[in-house]
């Protein structure tokens, strides 16, 4: 019986000590938790503690990629961009603009484009943000139009071509 009690007390001591398992999150992990919770204030505090707005998690997602997904939010997108997050850094070749368009998030798409997101970049499947736009009962048309306009502007900037003449002017 004494051996069982001793063994039990050892097990309980190991559990209480955490068995070497971290009991607190790193600053970067807390930043991702804040992004998931749309906690812009929490992110701002973590930036002041040295967390980079371009931090990535263990699966390669940037904070901005998380913020443009279903669990992020416009407040965090705005905070990240203001703090200097790279508008084109998402997860691999999938950009925050592609993520926002796939969730039909016009506000995030607008902010990302204003911050310099490249609407001409392609993901691993050869798709731009225009092709990744999701379906949302008609709301997707505004997202697609915003991206289409940005693509035309970006293409003109690269080629130096004048804007297209509307077909009604012929």
Residue 19 has what pLDDT?
A: 53
* CATH code where residue 147 lies: 1.25.40.20
Residue 17 has what pLDDT?
A: 55
Residue-range definition of the domain harbouring residue 30: 25-160
127 lies in a domain?
yes
Q: Is 142 exposed, middle or buried (0-12, 13-18, 19+ CB in 10 A)?
A: middle
Reduced to 3 states (helix: H, G, I; strand: E, B; else coil), residue 149 is helix
Q: Is 5 exposed, middle or buried (0-12, 13-18, 19+ CB in 10 A)?
A: exposed
Total structural domains in the chain? Answer: 1
**pTM of the prediction?**
0.79
What separation, in Å, do the N-terminal and C-terminal C-alpha atoms of the chain show? Answer: 98
Residue 159 has what pLDDT?
A: 73
Q: CA 67 to CA 83: how far, in whole Å?
A: 14
41 lies in a domain?
yes
Output the six-digit token pair for 4.
Answer: 């069982």
47 lies in a domain?
yes
Question: What's the distance, CA 121 to chain centroid?
Answer: 16
Task: Spell out, as residue ranges, where the chain has pLDDT lower than 70.
Answer: 1-23, 161-170
Reduced to 3 states (helix: H, G, I; strand: E, B; else coil), residue 135 is coil
Q: CA 41 to CA 34: how far, in whole Å?
A: 8
8 lies in a domain?
no
**Residue recorded with tokens 């990629």:** 65
**Residue recorded with tokens 């943000």:** 129
Residue 145 has what pLDDT?
A: 96
78 lies in a domain?
yes
Residue 169 has what pLDDT?
A: 47
* CA-wise closest residue to 65 among 36, 33, 99: 99
38 lies in a domain?
yes
144 lies in a domain?
yes
Residue 12 has what pLDDT?
A: 58
């Amino acid at each position: 019986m004494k051996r069982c009690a001793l063994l039990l007390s050892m097990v309980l001591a190991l559990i209480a000590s955490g068995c070497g398992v971290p009991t607190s999150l790193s600053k970067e992990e807390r930043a991702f938790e804040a992004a998931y919770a749309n906690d812009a204030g929490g992110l701002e505090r973590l930036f002041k503690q040295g967390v980079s707005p371009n931090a990535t998690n263990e699966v390669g997602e940037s904070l901005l990629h998380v913020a443009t997904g279903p669990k992020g939010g416009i407040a965090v997108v705005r905070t990240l961009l203001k703090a200097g997050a790279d508008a084109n850094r998402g997860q691999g070749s999938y950009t925050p603009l592609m993520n926002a368009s796939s969730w039909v998030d016009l506000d995030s798409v607008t902010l990302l484009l204003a911050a310099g997101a490249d609407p001409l970049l392609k993901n691993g499947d050869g798709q731009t943000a225009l092709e990744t736009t999701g379906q949302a009962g008609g709301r997707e048309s505004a997202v697609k139009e915003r991206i289409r306009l940005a693509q035309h502007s970006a293409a003109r900037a690269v080629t130096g071509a004048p804007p297209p003449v509307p077909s009604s002017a012929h």
